[in-house]
Chains A and B, each alone.
Chain A
Amino acid sequence: MNHTVHLSGEGNPTPVSVPHSPSPAALFAAAKQAGVLPTDAKAEDTHLFVGEEDEPVTADRLKSPGKDRLRIHCHRCRKIEVTVVFNLKKHTKALAPGAEVRRVLKWALKEFGLTGADADNKELRLGGAGGEVLNEDAAIGSYAHYPKCEVTAYLVDIVQVQG
């Protein structure tokens, strides 16, 4: 069976598809070629994460992908310090770069005690209420720019369609 790898990386929240390779070195090369890692990134400095796993991938793990679609996040940061701001209060958590924004949002809603309709209408944005909406499917590492291994997001109300 042919396997496809969906690669995401630094500063690029839109993943790209490449043929699967069981070799971390080959995946690293594919990531640079696909533009999800900068051209000056070094293999020895780069971590590969499968899905939302907390630990970087090993060569053995790649040999047995288990699914016909493998999601791999490539990053020079080992952890991303994620801070979410809401109503002038902050909570911070260290996450693997492959953790999805959706997971960050769930965590933030819980930390700020938001439930029901209050939780339903929230989204995460960079820079404030008018900033870029974070894609919930994206890896949080996609919004971090090495060597700054951190992301600050604002928990804001989703603007309702009207007019």
Chain B
Amino acid sequence: MNPDSPELSLFRTHLEEAPFTAGVDGGRWALVQGEDLSQWHHCRIELRCDSRFSAEGRVVLRFNLAGYSAKAPTAQPWDAEKNTPLPTARWPKGSAHLNAIFNPNWKTTALYMPCDRMAMEGHDGWKQVFPQWWWTPKHTITHYLTFVSRHLLPTGHA
């Protein structure tokens, strides 16, 4: 068996740490059942979603974690059963914030947010607007998940 790459090893460590497990224990996110990281640098994580925004009550994100954590993750909504991109008709939508993040009119392969690698390109101004959310190598996957989750499952309604 090949040893884990340093990026995968680091990612596994972050999955065991308290910030990630807090979200798992709180029912906000989890690795998709059966996700064994064998398709690294891809990884599928499902996030719970308010039923106002998605009838399915969840959305799966397929992450591209190449260069983790020096490089920011990028993720796209995913159909875990068919193992294909999620049709845009099934993307979460409803609040202005959520519609800005899950914006298929911008791209169908990434989320529009200050810690998504693809969205960060060309948006240097977000460093000043979202200084706490702009991805840096010290961040972990939980950082990305926290940003998305607070819009999928707003505390005010949970």
A residues with CB within 8 A of B? 6, 8, 14-17, 69, 71, 102, 105-106, 109, 114-123, 132-133, 135-137, 158-163
| Contact between A159 and B156, CB atoms less than 8 A apart | no
Q: Nearest 5 CB-CB pairs, A to B? A: A119-B156, A15-B18, A6-B18, A120-B154, A137-B22
What total of A-B pairs shows CB separation below 8 Å? 76
Q: CB-defined interface of B5-35 with A at 8 Å, one 1/0 digit per residue?
A: 0000000000011110111011000000000
Q: Which residues of A contact B19 (CB under 8 A)?
A: 14-15, 137
Q: How many of B's residues come within 8 Å of A, CB to CB? A: 30
| A116→B157 CA distance, assembly (Å) | 7
B residues with CB within 8 A of A? 16-19, 21-23, 25-26, 95-97, 100-101, 112-114, 123, 125-126, 129-130, 132, 146, 150, 154-158
| Contact between A121 and B22, CB atoms less than 8 A apart | no
Name the residue on A nearest B113 (C-beta): A161
Q: Which residues of A contact B16 (CB under 8 A)?
A: 17
In whole Å, how far is B26's beta carbon from the nearest beta carbon of chain A? Answer: 7
Name the residue on A nearest B101 (C-beta): A161
Name the residue on B nearest A136 (C-beta): B155
Most buried by B among A118, A123, A137, A158: A137
Q: Which residues of B contact A6 (CB under 8 A)?
A: 18, 21-22
